[in-house]
Every structure is written in structure tokens, then in C-alpha cells.
Amino acid sequence: MSSLASRSAPVTVRTEGGAVVLELVDALDEPTGRVLVDAVASAVATSPERVEIDLTGLSTWTDGGATSLVSCREMCRDLPEGLHYRTGRGPGRDALLAAYR
């Protein structure tokens, strides 16, 4: 089995009440950023109250991956409650801060 086949999904999606929650794990790099943007576009198409991106499971990120967070915010601007980020201390918060520098 290749290492790619054994890798878990970089983005998981679930519904919590009126919110669609997208949880990232491991790394937010450019490929994961593209997956995230596609997942947010699919979520927005279902007309939720808000979208939440959970960054607490990140262990690393790249500038290219962090820029996807800005694209996600743009896509969610017309939702009633918009886009929310879940972060703690560490790489998730650092990626978010880098995205909006």
C-alpha cells in the first residue's frame, strides 16, 4: 500500500445544528488548501447558517495553504452567520494569522 493510500482525509466535514464544520488535520499545504476550498464551496451550496473551519488539529502549514483560508472567507460572506475559525495556540492559529497579514 502506498503512503498516499494510507493517509487520512485532510478535511472532514460534519454538520452541527445550522453549521457545517470542516476539520483539518496534520498539514495545511497547497493541496490541502485546494481540498478545503472545494469542500467550503460544496458546503456553501447547501445554504447553512455558517461554516466553521477547525484548525486545532493542524501540526504544520505553508503560506500557500494559509491563503486558502482567505478564499474560504470570501465564499462565506453571504451566509447569515458567515465563516468562523476554531483555533487554539499553535500551528492553526499561526496559519490563520499568516493568512490575514
Grid coordinates standing for 37? 476550498
Q: What's the confidence (pLDDT) of residue 9?
A: 77
E strand or H helix at 22:
strand 19-28
Hey, what CATH topology would domain 9-99 get? Transcription Regulator spoIIAA (3.30.750)
Q: Is the pLDDT of residue 5 over 60?
A: no
Q: What's the confidence (pLDDT) of residue 8?
A: 66
d(CA 72, CA 90): 21
How is the chain split into domains, by residue range?
A: 9-99
Task: Tell me the pLDDT tens digit for each residue of 6-53.
Answer: 456 789 999 999 999 999 999 999 999 999 999 999 999 999 999 999
Q: To 10 degrees, what angle do helices 91-99 and 63-75 make?
A: 70
Residue 24 contacts residue 33 (beta carbons within 8 Å): no
Task: Tell me the pLDDT tens digit for each residue of 50-91.
Answer: 999 999 999 999 999 999 999 999 999 999 999 999 999 999
